[in-house]
């Protein structure tokens, strides 16, 4: 596989934070590649560096050392302006909190990233993305008139409107009940299978992680191994072992 087949590559990425006189190493020389058209879950005990990994890979945070490449563009050394543009145009995010604007309808929320980028908003495109997430008939509804799962699907549509190369999720199903969570995960899975999208998702939930092609485990800021095509039970068993490691 040549490097163009990778949506994101991390090469020996470290990130430390100053904490008083000492430093906390959130990520310690992590090297990972995320092939295009795959769904990866990132798991690990609390404080193992999952969010930091996601933020560095998505250009939201800068590594202390090492390099991150998004579709052939190396992020190290990009100015803040270039990094902001890259995030806006090439990367999509969904978080545990849906972060929808309550005063706006679903279609207005979905169009927001285009408006913020000063781009023309094609109504047909907004409707198409809403249809893709199963909300073709909810375009005029406001967030308070929708269920949690529907709101997360609006957030997904908003992340997809710019046709990002990679979609990042930080606990995207964390606020949903298990049935709604399954609906959103099935949708994510089908985006990878049908449209060849690349998804990287941090989760604590072995069932959510079992929808991914690959699960990467982090411990103390380092990659501690991975599972491919694993069941929720296998993933849960691995997590139990990792969490049992004494400090």
Ligand X SMILES: Nc1ncnc2c1ncn2[C@@H]1O[C@H](COP(=O)(O)OP(=O)(O)OP(=O)(O)O)[C@@H](O)[C@H]1O
In the complex, the smallest distance separating the C-beta of residue 19 from ligand X, rounded to whole angstroms, is 5
Which of 35, 37, 47, 148 binds ligand X (CB under 6 A)? It is 47
Name the one range near ligand X by CB under 6 A: 50-58, 86-94, 132-140, 154-162: 50-58
In the complex, the smallest distance separating the C-beta of residue 223 from ligand X, rounded to whole angstroms, is 13
Q: Considering the rule CB under 6 A, would residue 90 count as an interface residue with ligand X?
A: no
Parallel, antiparallel or unpaired: strands 214-219 and 222-228 = antiparallel
Q: Considering the rule CB under 6 A, would residue 24 count as an interface residue with ligand X?
A: yes
- Measure the CA–CA gap between 105 and 138, rounded to whole angstroms: 9
Q: Which of 69, 70, 113, 121 is nearest to 94 (CA)?
A: 113
Sequence-distant (≥ 6) Cβ neighbours of residue 122 within 8 angstroms? none
Nearer to ligand X, 51 or 73 (CB): 51
Q: Considering the rule CB under 6 A, would residue 26 count as an interface residue with ligand X?
A: yes
Name the one range near ligand X by CB under 6 A: 48-56, 80-88, 145-153, 232-240: 48-56
Q: Considering the rule CB under 6 A, would residue 19 count as an interface residue with ligand X?
A: yes
**Count of CB atoms situated within 10 Å of the CB of 167:** 24
25 token code pair = 């190493």
- Measure the CA–CA gap between 137 and 131, rounded to whole angstroms: 8
- Enumerate binding residues for ligand X (CB under 6 A): 17, 19, 24, 26, 44, 46-52
């Amino acid at each position: 596989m040549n490097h163009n087949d990778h949506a994101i590559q991390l090469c020996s990425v470290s990130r430390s934070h100053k904490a008083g006189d000492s430093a906390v190493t959130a990520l310690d020389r992590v090297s990972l590649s995320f092939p295009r058209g795959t769904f990866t879950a990132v798991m690990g005990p609390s404080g193992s560096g999952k969010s930091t990994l996601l933020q560095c890979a998505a250009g939201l945070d800068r590594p202390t050392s090492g390099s991150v490449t998004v579709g052939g563009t190396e992020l190290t050394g990009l100015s803040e302006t270039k990094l902001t543009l890259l995030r806006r145009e090439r990367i999509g995010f969904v978080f545990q909190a849906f972060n929808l604007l309550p005063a706006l309808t679903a279609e207005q929320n979905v169009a927001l990233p285009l408006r913020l980028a000063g781009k023309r908003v094609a109504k047909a495109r907004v409707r198409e993305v809403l249809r893709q997430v199963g909300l073709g008939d909810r375009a005029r509804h406001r967030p308070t008139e929708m269920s949690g799962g529907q709101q997360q699907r609006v957030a997904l549509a908003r992340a997809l409107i710019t046709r990002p190369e990679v979609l990042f999720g930080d606990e995207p199903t964390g606020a949903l009940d298990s049935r709604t969570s399954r609906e959103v995960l099935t949708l994510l899975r089908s985006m990878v299978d049908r449209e060849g999208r690349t998804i990287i998702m941090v989760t604590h939930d072995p069932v959510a992680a079992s929808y991914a092609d690959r699960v990467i485990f982090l411990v103390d800021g380092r990659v501690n191994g991975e599972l491919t095509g694993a069941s929720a039970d296998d993933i849960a068993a691995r997590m139990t072992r990792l969490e049992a490691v004494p400090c």
